[in-house]
Chains A and B, each alone.
Chain A
Amino acid sequence: MKNKLISAQEAAEKIKSGSSLMYGGFIGVGTPDAIVDEIVKRAPKELTLIGNDTGKPDKGVSKLIAAGLVKKVIASHIGTNPQTGELMGKGELEVELVPQGSLAEKIRAGGFGLGGVLTPTGLGTDVAAGKQIINVDGKDYILEKALKGDVAIISGSIVDKAGNVYYKGTTRNFCPLVAAAADVVIVYAEKLVEVGEIPPENVMTPGIFVDFIVEGK
């Protein structure tokens, strides 16, 4: 079995300037703060962030934005981190707002071999602008194209050494989706266990999606 264990510093080295970084997390819950901190230290530039929101000032990916490492954000909600809106207003940060369910499906499609999804969400609003409208059996849908990332970082409550992940509570959110949609996937293991310790039916992200594991402190 491949040894997937790396340090948080080594994880941060996987994120190059100009790359698209997907992340699990809902207002920071499910985002690996320890890896975010190391990315801040390493300071790659011109990142594109893809995730539900931009955390809040003390939690989640907000520190990447505060450090000036981010060129563009694709998210559904930026209200919990006021700095994102401020930088957007000043023209220093490009923000693409996507309805949350559409964002989840765009990422899912990216990971699961689909070109996109057809959704009624956003019809008649600015979200539909410039997008293809497809009529299926008399109903209109927006074509939302798939999204992929260069690297994804997620948190796992229990992770085995093969990278199988179990998520506790509401930490799951976007984690299983981004884990499938990025080329390089790094999981932060809140608790690291031996292979076989997570019952197969409790595995929520199969280890094949995970390239690297950072053991939590």
Chain B
Amino acid sequence: MDAKNIIAKRAAKELKDGDIVNLGIGLPTLLTSYLDPDLDIIFQSENGILGMGDTPEVGKEDPDITNAGGAFVTVKSGAAFFDSATSFGIIRGGHVDVTVLGALQIDEQGSLASHIIPGKLVPGMGGAMDLVVGAKKVIVVTTHTAKGDAPKILHRCTLPLTAYKKVNRIITELAVIDCTPEGLVLREINANTTVDEVKRLTEADLIIPEHVGRFE
């Protein structure tokens, strides 16, 4: 299993029955492949859906039903469509339980940079800044390091911030880390790694509790 699937599999465990969840584009969307089908989870899409379903079968796409990445989707029975003000009222108003986003950098304060590399990559924040402010739980999923083992979990983000002190949990292929007022706490490590290896690949200081869990 590659890093992204390891992350998605572990992150899927964060979603609970009845949760209202917004998944970012890319890696976060992969979580749906690892969800327990018995869980009743309501997916929100910021372009105006509560109750988003799976990708439609080829030939059954409806051009008027798309997700926030512009891809065709289906909706589940009982779904609702709405305009963008209502959509962000749902998000900012605290009605979304969990948001899962990707990251370029995360830091010891629970701040996140994910939307811009000045002069290089400027997609923009889209709905991310509202999601991190409004969702009850903010989970960041990311590979532990960038190319060449360059740390992504830093003392302080150097890129422009998308969220200031809003991240609750970081999930990588190597570790599960909680952002707390005291700093970053290592909760779990991948069964195939060690605490020392995680520390080596993390620039930020990690608080290591007596018990650190393991995940597959």
Contacts and interface: CB of A to CB of B under 8 A. Distances in A.
Nearest to A89: B119
Contact of A125 (B46, B47, B49, B161): B161
B127 A170 contact: no
Q: How large is the interface on A (under 10, 10 to 19, 20 to 34, 35 or more residues)?
A: 35 or more
A100 B126 contact: yes
Nearest to A76: B126
B160 interface: yes
A105 B129 CA distance: 14
Interface stretch (A35-43, A61-69, A174-182, A209-217): A174-182
B48 A121 contact: no
Nearest to B129: A99
Contact of A124 (B62, B66, B67, B164): B164
Contact of A172 (B62, B83, B162, B165): B83
Contact of B64 (A56, A89, A124, A171): A171
A3 B160 CA distance: 50
Contacts of A53: 124, 126
B12 interface: no
**Among B46, B116, B163, residue most surrounded by chain A Cβ atoms (within 10 Å):** B46
Interface stretch (B33-41, B84-92, B143-151, B201-209): B84-92
A204 B91 CA distance: 21
B70 interface: yes
Interface residues of B, number: 44
B123 A85 contact: yes
A33 to B, nearest CB: 11
Given A26-B47, A100-B127, A95 B64 contact: no
A176 B83 contact: yes
A127 interface: yes
Nearest to A124: B164
Given A85-B122, A125-B161, A170-B47, A26 B68 contact: yes
Contacts of A173: 47-48, 83-84, 87
* Interface class of chain B by DSSP: loop
Contacts of B134: 101, 121
B130 A126 contact: no
Given A125-B162, A126-B161, A100 B63 contact: no
A78 B84 contact: no
**Among B49, B65, B92, B162, residue most surrounded by chain A Cβ atoms (within 10 Å):** B92
Given A56-B70, A101-B92, A177 B85 contact: yes
Interface in A164-193: 167-177
Contacts of B62: 169
A174 B83 contact: yes
A29 B85 contact: no
Interface string B87-99: 1100110000000
A27 B66 contact: yes
B133 interface: yes
B125 interface: yes
A115 interface: no
Nearest to B82: A172
Interface of A: 26-29, 52-53, 56, 75-80, 85, 88-89, 95, 97, 99-102, 104-105, 108, 119-127, 157, 167-177, 204
Interface of B: 45-49, 62-70, 81-85, 87-88, 91-92, 111, 116, 119, 121-130, 133-134, 160-165
Given A104-B87, A177-B85, 19 more contacts: A26-B68, A27-B47, A76-B126, A76-B127, A78-B124, A79-B126, A85-B123, A89-B122, A101-B127, A102-B129, A104-B83, A108-B85, A120-B92, A121-B130, A121-B134, A126-B161, A170-B67, A173-B84, A204-B83
